[in-house]
Structure 1
Amino acid sequence: MRHITRGARGAAVATLAIGAVVALTACGTSSGGSAGPTEAADELGEMEGTVSILAWPGYVEDGSNDPAVDWVSGFEEQTGCMVESKTYGTSDEAVSLMKTGDYDVVAASGDATLRLIAGGDVAPVNTDLIPSYAGIFDFLKDQAWNSVDGVSYGVPHGYGANLLLYNTEVVTPAPTSWDIVFDKASEYTGKVTAYDSPIYIADAAVYLMTHQPELGIENPYALDEEQFQAAVDLLKAQRPHISEYWSDYLKEISAFETGDSVAGTTWQVIQNVLEGESAPTAVVLPEEGATGWSDTWMIASAAKSPNCAYAWLDWIASPETNAAATAYFGEAPSSQEACNFRDDCEAYHAGDAEYASQIWYWTTPIAECVDGRTDVECVDYSTWTEAWSEIKG
C-alpha cells in the first residue's frame, strides 16, 4: 500500500469543532476469547483521558510537523483525551502492530481491514454513537471493506482513485484506456511505472475484466486460480517495460518531471503537484475503471480507551476536521459538508457517486470470494504477496 504521505502538501488550517460526545462504558459483549467483542457498544460513558492511535503519516497531525497543521489539539481540548500516535508505512505493518494490543484506534486501508476483522483485532462499531457518521457519503458506507454481514466495523475517512498519469508531449493522442501500460506498454518501454504493492495485481484484474471477459472476473479482489494466474501473467508481461515500481509519491513526481516515466498509475494529488510545477502531464480515469482506496477508522477489540476511541471517530469524521485531514493528505473528504471547508473538492470528484462507482476500492483478498461465489475458493492475500515478489523478480 502507500509507503509515505500521499500528499502532505497544501493543507489549510481549520478551526476544529466537535459536538459533545459522551464516550462508551462498555465495548460490547465479548465471546471470552482473544477475538474481543462480537457486538458493538450500545451506550456511552466517561472518557479515559488518553487514546492511542495508529495511522498513515499525515492522518494525525498535532502541529509538531507543521505548526499550521493541527487537528489534534482541538480534540484534546474538547474531550480531555490526550492523543498518543504512531505512524506506519504499509498495511502489513499496521496489521502486525495491531496484534500487539497497544492501540485503541487504527486508520486502515481496504487491503488490511478484512484481515483485522478476521483476526479479531477490531470491534464492530455502533455508528449511532457517532453523530458525524450521518453526513458521510452513502457510497462509502456498508461496503465490503468496512462491514461484514451488515455490521459496520468503522468510519470512512477519505477516498481516491488510482488514476492513469501520462506525459502529454509523449503519449498522444490522449489515452482513454489502461492499454498503454499493459498491451501497448512496449511503445513506452522503460518509461512505464506502476504502484509497488501486491494489491496492484487488482489493477491488472480490472483491465482483464474488460479485455478478457471470458475469464468471468466480477470483482478484482475475488480471483480464482485461473483468473489470478491471468492477472499475474499480464503483470509479468508488463515487467520488462517498467522503469520503476513506486511507493513514495515524491519519487513519481521526480520521474515525470525528468521524463524517466511517461505513463503509469498515480494519485490525483501527484497530478496537482505536477500541474503546479507546469509539468506536461495529465490524468484520466480510464474506460475500464480503476482501483482506489477508502480508508476506515476502526476501534481495537482490546481498546484500553474505547470511550476516547469513539470520540476520535466522531471528531475525525466531523466536517472541518475531515476537510483539514483529507486535504493535507491529498484525497477526497468523506462528506459533502467537508467541502464547505475546502476549495478543491471538484478536482478530487468529491461526492460524485457516478465517478466513485467506477472505482474498485482496495479490499483484502480472502479465500471466501468477496464477489459472493461459493462454488470456488479465491486466492488469498498471502498468495498475492508471494506472486508480487515473483513478478518484480
Structure 2
Amino acid sequence: MEHVRQQGERSSMNEHIPNKDVPRFPWALLIRVLAACALVGFVAYRSDLGRVWNALGQIDLAALGKAMLLYGALQVLSATKWGLILKSQSGPGSNHVPYPRLILFYFMGMFANLFFPSSVGGDALRTVMVSPFAGGMGKGSLSILMERATGFFAMITIGLMASVLIANSVGSQPGTRMDAITTTGALILLGGAVACLVFFTATILFRKMVLIGRVPRWTTDRLRRLLRDFAECLENFGRNSGLLLAVFGVSFVFQLGFVCLTWLIMKASGVELSFVYLCYFHPVLSTISFIPLTPNALGVREVTVTALLAAQGLPNHLALLFCLCTYIVMTTLSLPGALAIVFMKTDLASIARSRRRPPDAPSP
C-alpha cells in the first residue's frame, strides 16, 4: 500500500515537470519573417508597381542568360577555391574530395542558402557533406569558414578601393561632395575591414594558444579535440604559402566576376551604372545582407538596393526589377542543388546518424 502511495506521489510530481521534448514556438523566426514582410511591403508601397509590371516585358533576356552562365561559372570557381583550402589543410584522417562531388556540394549549399530559414544554412549543409572527407566536422567547418573569410577580405578590399575612387571623383568637382547614402556605405565597408582585421588577428592568436596547450580547463574533451583540429588546420593552411596566395587570388577573381554579374543583371533590368560604382555597390549590398535581421536578408536587400540606386537618381521600380532578376538568376542556378539534395537524402541521413552515434559504438 505504501509503495502504491509513493508511486502515486511521484506520478503527481511528474505532472508538474515541464516536458522538454515539447517544441517551443519559434518566436524569433516569426519576428524576422514579419520584419521581412514589412520591409518588402514598404519598398513596394514606395514604388510604382504598374511600372514594374510594364518593365517586366522589357527585360534584356540575352543579358539575363549571360548572367546565369556567369553565375554558374563563378560557383564552379568558388568550389575550386574550396578544394584548394581543403587541400592546404589536409592531414591525418582526411581524404581527397572528388572535384565533381565538391561542385555538387557547392550547388546544394546554394539551394540551402536561398530556401533554408538562414543565410548560413548552406554552409551547415556543406559542412555535413564534406566532413567525412575532411577528417571531421571541425576540419570541414574550418574549410568553409576560411573560404568565406578570404572571399569577404577580397570583397571589402575591392569596395574600399572603389570608395576612394568615387570620393576622389566627387572631390575633383568644385562645390560637390559625396551624398549621405554613399558615405554611409563607405563607413559600412570600413567596419567590414575592421572585422576582417579582428578575425585574422584572433585566428593567429588562437592557433598559437591551442598549439602550445593553453586551453581553458573547463573545456570538454570533445571541444578540445575540435579546437585541436582547428589549430592544426590553420597551421597547415599557413605553411602552404603557394596555396594561400592562390586562394586569395581566386577570391579576388571571384569578387570581380561577381561585379561583372551585377553589371549584367543591371543591364537586363535597364540600369546603366559605371563599373567603379558597381565595385562599390556589390560589397556594400553583400555586407549589409550578412546582418541577420530577416531570413536570408529578405527585405533588407530590397531596401538597400532601393536606397543605393535612388542616390544615383534611379526610380524605385528599377531597383525592384533588379532584385527580381537577381532572384531569377540565383533560383534557377540553385535547382541542380535541390535535385542533389533529393537524390542524396540517404547519404544525409547516414551522416546524421553517424554524428549521433557515440565514438566507440559499433556501426549498424
State the TM-score bracket (shorter-chain normalisation).
under 0.3
Structure label with greater radius of gyration: 2
Higher RCO, 1 vs 2 (CA within 8 Å, ≥6 residues apart): 2
Question: Which protein is richer in strand relative to its size?
Answer: 1
Question: Which protein is richer in helix relative to its size?
Answer: 2
Normalising to structure 2: TM-score of the pair? Answer: 0.26
